[in-house]
Homo-oligomer: A and B are copies of this chain.
Amino acid sequence: MPHSAHAPRLGDLERVVMDRLWESTVAGGDGFAGVTVREVHEALEKDREIAYTTVMTVLDRLAKKDLVTRERDGRAWRYLPADTREALTARTMRRTLDDMEVTDRRSALLHFLDGASTDEIADLKAALAEVEARSDRPASRGARSRRPR
Contacts and interface: CB of A to CB of B under 8 A. Distances in A.
Interface of A: 4, 9, 19, 84-94, 96-97, 100-116, 120-121, 123-128, 130-131, 147-148
B85 A89 contact: no
Contacts of A9: 9
B131 A113 contact: yes
A39 to B, nearest CB: 21
A14 B102 CA distance: 16
B89 A96 contact: yes
* Identical subunits present: 2
Given A85-B103, A100-B85, A107-B148, A112 B90 contact: yes
A131 B110 contact: yes
Given A85-B103, A87-B108, A90-B111, 6 more contacts: A89-B97, A89-B100, A105-B123, A114-B147, A116-B131, A121-B128
Q: Which of A101, A103, A107, A131 has the most CB of B within 10 A?
A: A107
A4 B111 CA distance: 13
A91 B111 contact: yes
Contacts of A113: 127-128, 130-131
Nearest to A107: B86
